[in-house]
Amino acid sequence: MAEARKGSRRVLTGTVISSAMDKTVVVEVVSIKAHPVYKKRYRTTKKYYVHDEENQCNAGDKISISETRPLSKTKRWRVLDIVERAR
């Protein structure tokens, strides 16, 4: 039997960089990685298309996002909550 793995969805925190679309925001997540040989740390950024049902996020907001089923061709994430509003 296949068991539902409810707690296995990834949760990330990022900054909204665009909210021009309807019910969709673009979130930039910054992560710090280490070089495999030289161990120097460097920053990488990745953009995610996130489902925002109530259009409540604006550019500059810091939000947490969670993985979900595919909602469109590019959207696989949804807004969990707004951590900090933009000033």
Query: Predicted confidence band at 87 (pLDDT cuts at 50, 70, 90)?
Result: confident
Model-wide pTM > 0.75 = yes
> Which position has the token pair 């807004």?
79
pLDDT of 2-58, one tens digit each? 555 666 899 999 999 999 999 999 999 999 999 999 999 999 999 999 999 999 999
The single-letter code of the amino acid at 48 is Y
Please report the pLDDT score of residue 68 as a whole number.
96
The single-letter code of the amino acid at 31 is S
* DSSP β-bridge partners for residue 11: 66
Query: In Å, how far from its chain's centre is CA 18?
Result: 12
Which domains are seen in the chain, by residue range?
10-84 (2.40.50.140)
